[in-house]
């Protein structure tokens, strides 16, 4: 279903226009696709260029200008429910392509666009059916390369980075030195991760930084000492998980040595890493 415009004045719907043409012109003169016979509207006021499912509005240097959602624009990429204003007239842009149309799934499928052929002519490329394995070349195993691990980029002493940024993607680190310094690096927040569930934290129980606490607000938080032992805590929609990253020793959770698999963390689990004990718990 193509996008459409609803023309109204003073809340009174005058007309509904479907955007089928590549260029839809709007103006006072009769040759326009959408004619608005009002002196506040220029002869050739604006044009809407539609390319497949996207429409772009452009003001053609009109005397009184074009507003979208109350803001004057020269050029605008129209989003569904945008309200275009020309003088006292309003045009509401409706494009429920993504929501209705075909199934949203079909819509997301990659299709090829060839010059001179519309994607429709290409035939909808859908892929349901029985799954069948195709012999694909096996992916190579990582070669046992002599990896010298790079130190974590920004390792700040914990004491100076006590405040936990709640947004953004800045790196954040904390040292939890027992005898040697360890760092916790915490980058990135996916909106998803932050949006869901309760926030947990890690509190250091042993070593020089005993008592320190850090909220696990980001999608990934690395713990440990680069080059010696590093683990990562991932924040996922279904909860927190700890995974070994590097080093000969694996983390210990509640006295149990982990393997290479991600391990779900529960409230009050005790994590042991490079000789430092810490407690994982959910903030209330």
Partner 1 sequence: MNLSQALEIASCTDPGIVRSHNEDSVAADAAKGLVVLADGMGGYNAGEVASGMATTVITTELQHLLEETPPYQLEPASGVPYAEKLMREQIAKANTSIYQAAQSQPQYSGMGTTLVAAVFFDNKVTVAHIGDSRLYRLRGETFEQLTRDHSLLQEQIDSGMITPEQAKFSQNKNLVTRALGIDPTVEPEIHCHPTQLGDIYLLCSDGLNDMVSDEDVGMTLQTLSANLRLAAQQLVQMANDNGGRDNVSVILVRVVRDYAAPKGWLSRFFSWLR
Q: Which of residues 20-79 bind partner 1 (CB under 8 A)?
A: 51-54, 56, 77, 79
Q: Exposed, middle or buried: residue 257 (CB in 10 Å: 0-12, 13-18, 19+)? A: exposed
By DSSP bridging, strand 89-94 and strand 256-257 are unpaired
In the complex with partner 1, which residue's Cβ is closer, 142 or 255?
Answer: 142
Sign of the torsion formed by the C-alpha atoms of 120, 121, 127 and 128: positive
Provide the 10 A C-beta neighbour count for residue 12.
Answer: 8
Establish if 252 lies at the interface with partner 1 (CB under 8 A): no
Q: What CA–CA distance (Å, rounded) separates 123 from 113?
A: 11
Choose one: 14-22, 25-33, 66-74, 128-136; the region binding partner 1 (CB under 8 A): 128-136
Choose one: 20-28, 61-69, 146-154, 275-283; the region binding partner 1 (CB under 8 A): 146-154
Of the candidates 12, 39, 140, 248, which one interacts with partner 1 according to CB under 8 A? Answer: 140
Length of the chain: 284
Residue 158, helix vs strand vs coil:
helix
Of the candidates 10, 120, 131, 284, which one interacts with partner 1 according to CB under 8 A? Answer: 131
By DSSP bridging, strand 12-18 and strand 23-27 are unpaired
In the complex with partner 1, which residue's Cβ is closer, 14 or 111?
Answer: 111
Q: Where on the chain is the footprint of partner 1 (CB under 8 A)?
A: 51-54, 56, 77, 79, 95, 97-98, 105, 107-115, 119, 122-123, 125-132, 134-140, 142-143, 145-147, 149-150, 152-153, 169, 171, 185, 187-188, 190, 192-193, 219-220, 222, 226, 230, 232, 234, 236-237, 243-246
């Amino acid at each position: 279903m193509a996008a459409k415009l609803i023309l109204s004045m003073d809340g009174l719907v005058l007309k509904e226009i479907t955007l089928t043409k590549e260029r839809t012109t709007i103006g006072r003169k009769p040759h326009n696709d959408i004619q608005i016979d009002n002196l506040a509207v220029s002869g050739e006021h604006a044009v809407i260029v539609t390319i497949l499912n996207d429409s772009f509005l452009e003001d053609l240097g009109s005397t009184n200008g074009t507003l979208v959602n109350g803001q004057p624009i020269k050029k605008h990429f129209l989003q569904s429910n945008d309200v275009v204003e020309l003088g006292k007239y309003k045009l509401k842009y409706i494009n429920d392509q993504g929501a209705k149309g075909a199934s949203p799934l079909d819509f997301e499928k990659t299709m090829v666009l060839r010059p001179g052929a519309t994607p429709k002519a290409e035939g909808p490329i859908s892929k349901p059916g029985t799954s069948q394995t195709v012999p694909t070349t096996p992916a190579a195993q990582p070669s046992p390369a002599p990896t010298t691990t790079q130190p974590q980029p920004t390792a700040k002493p914990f004491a100076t980075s006590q405040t936990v940024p709640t947004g953004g993607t800045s790196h954040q680190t904390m040292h939890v030195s027992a005898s040697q310094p360890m760092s916790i690096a915490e980058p990135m927040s996916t909106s998803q991760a932050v949006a869901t569930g309760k926030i947990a934290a890690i509190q250091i129980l042993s070593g020089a930084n005993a008592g320190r606490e850090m909220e696990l607000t980001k999608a990934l938080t690395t713990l440990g000492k680069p080059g010696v032992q590093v683990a990562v805590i991932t924040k996922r929609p279904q909860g927190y998980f700890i995974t070994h990253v590097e080093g000969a020793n694996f983390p210990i959770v509640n006295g149990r040595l982990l393997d290479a698999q991600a391990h779900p963390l529960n409230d009050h689990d005790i994590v042991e890493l490079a000789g430092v004990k810490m407690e994982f718990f959910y903030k209330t």
